[in-house]
Amino acid sequence: MSLPKILVLSGSTRVGSHNTRLAALAAKELALVDADVTRISLTDYSMPIYDADLEKETGTPHNAMKLRQIVGAHQGVFIASPEYNASVTPLLKNTLDWLGNAREKGEPPLAAYQNRIFAIGAASPGPSGGAQSLIALRQILAVGCRALVMGEQVAVPFAKQAFDERDNLVDAGAANQLKLVVRKLVDLTRMLVRDNAR
């Protein structure tokens, strides 16, 4: 049986981002449980602010279509989401908006969000670990984009002190929760692949 293909990305492109570190650790943990992992940076997929008039005039941006193709090649997606003003980053929201509208000829709206499993996590300097960002992201994905989002998630509080010199999580609880999320994501994507093959 082929390995489940999982895409990993961070909602931040900031140098030293805690969530980019969390995404990197998730990618490492996914590889350890036999997933075929692709990790990307949204730096490589810059797009204008979503505007329906702009889309009508110039079409879907090339980078949105590239990202749509990458997402389409994976059965699972892990998103590490920073918390900005009790929500997701503008970068991540804009990416998700364009991705929902990027589709090949004949595909329905929101096609990028169908037939795959999404897992979410966050790391924050505060005590909540980015929990409000995860609430907002879950609503965007599950309600707005009709995606299947795992109930399990990981929130890493006090992120400035959360990682050791090897970028592993210091707190055993957070580390175990990430492992749980990763294992569940791989298990669910395997089930999805098996069901789609029938």
Task: Enumerate the β-bridge partners of residue 153.
Answer: 120
What integer pLDDT is reported at residue 90 of this predicted model?
97
| CA–CA dist 174, 182 (Å, integer) | 12
| CA–CA dist 3, 68 (Å, integer) | 21
Buried/exposed 151-174: b ≥16 CB within 10 Å, e otherwise: ebbbbbbbbeebbeeeeebeeeeb
pLDDT score of 170 more than 70: yes
What is the CATH code of the structural domain delimited by 5-197?
3.40.50.360
Strand duo 36-40 + 148-156: pairing: unpaired
What integer pLDDT is reported at residue 160 of this predicted model?
95
Look up residue 5 and give its DSSP letter. Answer: E
30: exposed, middle or buried (Cβ count in 10 Å: 0-12, 13-18, 19+): buried
Look up residue 180 and give its DSSP letter. Answer: H
What integer pLDDT is reported at residue 42 of this predicted model?
98
Q: What ranges do the domains of the chain cover?
A: 5-197
Distances in Å between the Cα of 80 and the Cα atoms of 24, 26, 51, 195 are 9, 9, 25, 27
What integer pLDDT is reported at residue 178 of this predicted model?
98
Percent of the chain clearing pLDDT 70 (strictly above): 98
pLDDT score of 19 more than 70: yes
Condensed to tens digits (0 to 9), the pLDDT of residues 88-122 reads 999 999 999 999 999 888 889 899 999 999 999 99
What integer pLDDT is reported at residue 198 of this predicted model?
65
Condensed to tens digits (0 to 9), the pLDDT of residues 23-71 reads 999 999 999 999 999 999 999 999 999 999 999 999 999 999 999 999 9
More confident residue, 109 or 141: 141
Condensed to tens digits (0 to 9), the pLDDT of residues 147-169 reads 999 999 999 999 999 999 999 99
More confident residue, 5 or 198: 5
Distances in Å between the Cα of 25 and the Cα atoms of 31, 90, 147, 163, 178 are 10, 23, 24, 10, 9
pLDDT score of 194 more than 90: no
Condensed to tens digits (0 to 9), the pLDDT of residues 121-130 reads 999 999 999 9
